[in-house]
Every structure is written in structure tokens, then in C-alpha cells.
Amino acid sequence: MGNNLKAARVSPPGRILKRELDARGWTQKDLANIMNRPPQVINEIIKGTKQITPETAIELSKAFGTSAKFWQNLEANYQLFLAKKQKDDSDIQRRSRLYTIAPVAELIKRQWIKPTDSLDELEQEICDFLGINDPSQEPILGANFRHNYNLNPKYISLVAWKKRVEFLVKEYQIADFGLEEFKQAISSILACAEKEETIAKIPNILEELGIYFIIVPHLNKTYLDGSAFYVNNHPVIALTLRYNRIDSFWFTLIHEIGHIFAGHQGIYLDDLTKLENNQEELEANTLAKNWLIDSDAFETFVRENKSKFSGKAITDFAKSQQRHPGIILGRLQDEKLVDYKNLRKYLVKVSPYLTNWIDN
């Protein structure tokens, strides 16, 4: 039993002892009589509930004609094996807990936490990132989210995405927020929806109103478009650009603005279906639709063009609404009035105008 012993091959001393008895045709009671010990002692050693003491090792060596060190080494190696196995099991449980509360691989891949081989350091990194004291705590999700819950979004990924947003917005200062001033400025924000290049003005407009604006790209398994919540009494509007299109950008942005306008503070729960299917989301959806496109004018436009929505009809209506044609097309496609494959030239990408606000 030398130093090259592999943990997977370690046998309990009791098993070796039983083999010695079987080889000699002895019973446990025979050995007990030979050693002048109670049969229970031999039975407990064989079952592994009793360790071989130095005194017992000497007696076994005399009974079997071996060295006492042989039996001592058996016991010592086995106890080391048990200790290591217990530690390995504990480490597995600790790692399992970390992967339960956070998408660890994704956090490391995006460099949101530092990679480390130390389990203690990894625990600390994740706790610091999630804002909890130890891994036994549950991170709390509090926000209004616009995403597709039918795709079974992963709760821990939503939490991780939100924590990243919180970390980024706390790094810079913005103006004080006033609700009434913000409400009066919504028309100025909507005025930027006519041309694609005016999208670049949105972040600065929001910051001057005391609203944090940030884009943190879509995190795997969140199916998330945007979110609205508060940090230090400032509203936060965070987008993912999951669909890097002008229609998705504007509807998501105005949807989140609708939450702030209506005084929604966010929802704290772990039932993800309620994040989408609740009164606050429905209210924000309605506000966004009506602000972006006049509802009566849209109904008339649909009724007059239902047989065929041509590019010219869409651009003419967009001009009357002072909106980009892609916003009109996106609404038509969302309501299944135009096939998603058609007229996609109007669905321009918005990321080139928001480069400085995208988290890398």
C-alpha cells in the first residue's frame, strides 16, 4: 500500500480483513477468540464502523503473521480517501449551488466575473456580482421586462443580465429625474422616430431627463428585448437589441418609457409568466402602440390597403405619422397583415447609431 495508491482503488480495511478470514476458513468469532476480543469488535471493523487502532493493528499482525504497519497503513490510507471524498463531494455541492444561482460559464465568457480555479474566489466573484452575502441567498429580480416568456426564459440569466445593467449605470452621473418634465419630453423623444439617424440623439435626451440608458446585449436564454426599473431613484431603460431593427428598437424603447410614464416600479417575483402577462405590461404595450402610431389613422390605413400593403403606401402613411417606414411595417408584421419576409429593406439596423452605449 505505497504512495502510488489511487483513491478509486482504496479498499476498506474491513474488506481486506474479511478476505484474510475467508482465505483461512476462519469465522469472525474465531478471530475474536484468537485475539481475545469481543466478536462485536471484529464485526465493526469488517463493516467499517470501527477504525483499526495501533493496538488492534499489533494484534492483527500477530494473528495473521503480517506487520502492524500493514494494518495501520490500510486504515490511514482509507481515512485519507474518505476525507478527500468528503471534500470532493462538498466542492461538487458548492459548485452546483453556484451554477444554480448564476449562468457561470456565460458570466466568465463575457468577462463579467474573473475566471479562477479557486472555488472560494469563484464564490466571492459570483456573490459580489449578484449583490448577495453568500451563495445560499436568492438574488432578487425586480423589473418590468419585455421578452418572450413562451420560450421559457431562464430566471438566473435574467437576474445576471439585470445585475450587469445595474453595475454599468452606477458608473456614471446623470441629471435629476422629474416625472412631469419627463412626461412633457415624450413628444421630443417621439420626434426622433421619423429618421433612422436621429436615433443617435435618444441616449443624451434620456440622460438629460435623469434616465439611465444602456444596451447590454441579449444574454443566452433570456429572450429579452428590454427592461425598465429604478436605481437610486433614477429610472433605468436597458435594451438588448436582440432584434437589431428599427421597429423593434422603437417599440421596446417606447414600451419601457410607458412603464416610467405610468409609474410602474417593477415586479418582484420568480414566476416568469407574470413578467409578461400582467396589467402593467399590457398598459405599457397600449401606450407604446398609441404613441408610435395614431390608432384611428392606423385602422383607416389598414382598411384602405388590406388587399395589398405596398412600399409606397407604407412610406406615405409613415410620412403622415412622422415615423420611419420600418415602424409602420413592424406593426403590420406584428399583426400578421404583412409577411415577415416582405419589404425588409425598411427594417434598418439601429446599432450603428448606438455604438457608444453598447456594453462590450
Let me know whether 172 and 46 are in one domain: no
Largest distance between two CA atoms of the chain: 106
If asked whether residues 75 and 43 sit together in one domain, one would say: yes
Statement to judge: residues 158 and 217 lie in one domain: yes
Q: Name the nearest CA neighbour of 352 among 249, 256, 206, 219.
A: 249
Question: 292 and 353 share a domain?
Answer: yes
Q: Does 1 reside within a domain?
A: no
| Cβ-based neighbours of 104, under 8 Å, separated by 6 or more | 98, 113, 122, 126
Contact between 79 and 86 (Cβ < 8 Å)? no
Residue 219, class by beta-carbon neighbours within 10 Å (0-12 exposed, 13-18 middle, 19+ buried)? buried
**Distance set, CA 263 to CA 183, 184, 243 (Å):** 11, 15, 27
Residues 106 and 172 occupy one common structural domain: no
Q: Is residue 268 part of a domain?
A: yes
Within a domain: residue 135?
no
Contact 208, 178 (CB under 8 A): no
pLDDT confidence of residue 4: 43
Whole-model pTM: value is: 0.73
Integer Cα distance of 250 and 33 in angstroms:
89
C-alpha 168/C-alpha 160 separation (Å) is 13
Q: Please write the tens of the pLDDT for every residue from 113-148.
A: 999 999 999 999 999 999 888 888 877 665 555 544
Rounded CA-CA distance 227/229 in Å is: 7
In a domain, 136, yes or no: no
Whether residue 299 sits in one domain with residue 260 = yes
Q: How confident is the model at residue 266 (pLDDT cuts 50, 70, 90)?
A: low
Same domain, 38 and 155: no
**Total domains in the fold of the chain:** 3
Asked whether residue 292 is assigned to any structural domain, the reply reads yes
* DSSP summary character for residue 358: B
| Cα distance between residue 306 and residue 291, in whole Å | 22
Cell of 345: 429593406
pLDDT of residue 153: 57
The answer as to whether 315 is a domain residue is yes
Same domain? For 339 and 318 the reply is yes
The whole-angstrom separation of Cα 242 and Cα 157 is: 15
Question: Could you tell me if residue 326 is inside a domain?
Answer: yes
What percent of the chain lies above the pLDDT cut of 90? 62
The answer as to whether 2 is a domain residue is no
Tens-digit pLDDT profile for residues 209-258: 999 999 999 888 888 888 888 888 899 999 999 999 999 999 999 999 99
Please check whether residue 225 is in contact with residue 353, taking contact to mean a CB–CB distance below 8 angstroms. no
How far apart are alpha carbons 119 and 257 in whole angstroms? 41
List, as one string, the DSSP characters of 278-309: SHHHHHHHHHHHHHHS-HHHHHHHHHHHTT--
Range of the domain at 113: 102-130
**Same-domain check for residues 287 and 187:** yes
Phi/psi class of residue 154: alpha, beta or left (left: φ > 0; alpha: ψ in -120 to 50)?
beta
Give the CATH number for residue 49.
Answer: 1.10.260.40
- Of 286-295, 299-308, 319-328, which range is least confident? 299-308
Residues 290 and 262 in one domain: yes
Is there a single domain that holds both residue 231 and residue 190? Answer: yes
pLDDT digits over 37-86, tens only? 999 999 999 998 899 999 999 999 999 999 999 999 998 888 888 888 87
Same domain for 67 and 126, yes or no, is no
